[in-house]
Chains A and B, each alone.
Chain A
Amino acid sequence: MSASPWKRLKQSEAFNGYVMVSPTLIYAILMLAAPLGMIVAYSFFKDGYLEVIHEFTFENYIQAWTDPIFQAILFRSVLVSMLVTLVTVVLAFPIAYFISFVVPAQKKSLWLFLITIPFWTSYLIRVFQWKVILNYNGVINSILTGLGIVDQPLQMLNSVGAITVTLAHAYAPFAILPIFVSLEKIDRSFLEAGRDLGESPFMTFWRVTLPLAMPGVVGAVMIVFIPTIGDYVTPELIGGGKLPMVANMIQQNMLKIDNKPLGSAIAVSSMLVVAVIALVFLFLNRRFLRGPK
């Protein structure tokens, strides 16, 4: 009467779950986990002249980390990513707050739609447009000189500032949506309770709204910070190739110079740096992330 072990296994929820997730999981293992493992392995291999020598060495890491160019590039990448994250999140929060708390319920969809449309148009062209806007004879300079505010066009391109503005634009919806979601989850009666207990609107915001929105803010920081550090296009187009970031260096080593072990070591190193920064950030914000999900 009792079922066989195989039948029992087949009926168990866990087994069925594994079966269901397996196509996607196998794909992720083959196309993501294995290649990532491979790149770690490569970073410990020796670079021969035309081929890679499968021999364990720390040489690549030593070469990368002692190279002042790599140090400068890594430093710039982290700096730009942090700046971009700061600017993006600080600009995004009021917008998310506005949509969640000010915009009437039936118009929220429309606002989210408006915010996401630019995100769905060609990334390359959007980045390039910032070149058009910030150029020596670009939009801003035309307006400024046209209005007589400056007599000499400003030199705005090829700067960390220009890169930051461009990336902040590119990642805007990534920051707005998580913050919006966490703001939407806030029970409005909490805020009324805060006000009811005699808090000023500002103190209510500071002591109730902001802490409750922190999971969204932390999510926004992660989802902006991590990918921006690997951005290739913006330094190339807006930085004019004069302000490379790690992605440009990885590309150089992988394709142009064809030193795959060194390229791998740079990739692994920068990912480690990102991971450490991200973990420190999560650790500093751990009190906001606890509690029921």
Chain B
Amino acid sequence: MTSMLKILLKNGTGRYATRLYPAEAREPFAKNRADLSFDPGCCRLCKTCSRKCPTGAIEVDKENRTWKRDVFSCVFCGDCIEACPKSCLSFVARPPLPQKHHQQAVVYATVPERSKK
């Protein structure tokens, strides 16, 4: 009986355990796999990322030079990051924000034309 009481008393008098989340957000760990960032500047539209993705979240369109990722399908596994030969993709430590509509979920980028060397 008293054993739990001891723990509770210690909790009651000790340091506050709760993270006061929205008021004080903790710094995310540097290596967090929370979201992806895409750098359109270096992409060669080679489609490797879209082939390796286990959920089919990435769509690359060579004609229109677009690169799309459906955030709602992505499982943040990082296979595309490892696959990209140009290292255009990287992890971001902050998670994506909750959204209220299903259609907003696409990260869309147009890859700029590069000058031929």
Q: Are A and B genuine complex partners?
A: no
Which positions in A face B, CB cutoff 8 Å?
none
Which positions in B face A, CB cutoff 8 Å?
none
